[in-house]
Amino acid sequence: MTHDALQLDVSVSYGVPRAGIPSAVSFRRWVRAALEGRLRQADLAIRIVDSKEGRSFNRHYRGKDHATNVLSFPADLPEGLPEGVRLPLLGDLVICAPVVVREAREQGKPLAAHYAHLTVHGTLHLLGWNHEDDTEAECMERLEREILAGIGVADPYLGE
């Protein structure tokens, strides 16, 4: 069985100092792992933000007045596209660095592993995955575990 290679364009921008933040190469690898075999072409942006910018995004888009670890903004595709036609534009992820650092420390996880998990989690949201109820959450978590295991990252849900 042959697969078409995934054509992937991931831009990473930093609203925080880059010290301690994974490289853009790492973020691209994590996105690729989440999308491989699910899409043939994807274009997305990842912005790494501080608590102030993260809180602003979360308040504006979700009505929650605190910074959260990752926000996913799926692209709005234009109306009237034929059934099944997908533009490569997938959407945007906003990852709040101070929240990721705090959570990794609180949960006793390696920082890079937590960034990998949140990048995969956010990318799956861009594909339409959710965790609104227990069944959806279980399915999404199972998929995250498989993807992360494939790139050598331990189960992020162990111990919960």
Instruction: Give the CATH number of the domain where residue 127 resides.
Output: 3.40.390.30
* % of the chain at pLDDT higher than 70: 92
Give me the residues of the chain with pLDDT under 50, please: 1-2
The pTM (predicted TM-score) of the whole model is 0.91
Q: Which residues, at least 6 apart from 99, have a Cβ–Cβ distance to it below 8 Å?
A: 51, 54, 67, 68, 69
Predicted local distance difference test score (pLDDT) of residue 16: 96
In the predicted model, what is the mean pLDDT of the chain? 92
Whether 12 maps to a domain, the answer reads yes
In the chain, the number of structural domains is 1
Determine the pLDDT at residue 26. Answer: 97
Whether 11 is covered by a domain: the verdict is yes
pLDDT at 85: 60
pLDDT at residue 92, as a whole number: 96
Tokens of 33: 């792992």
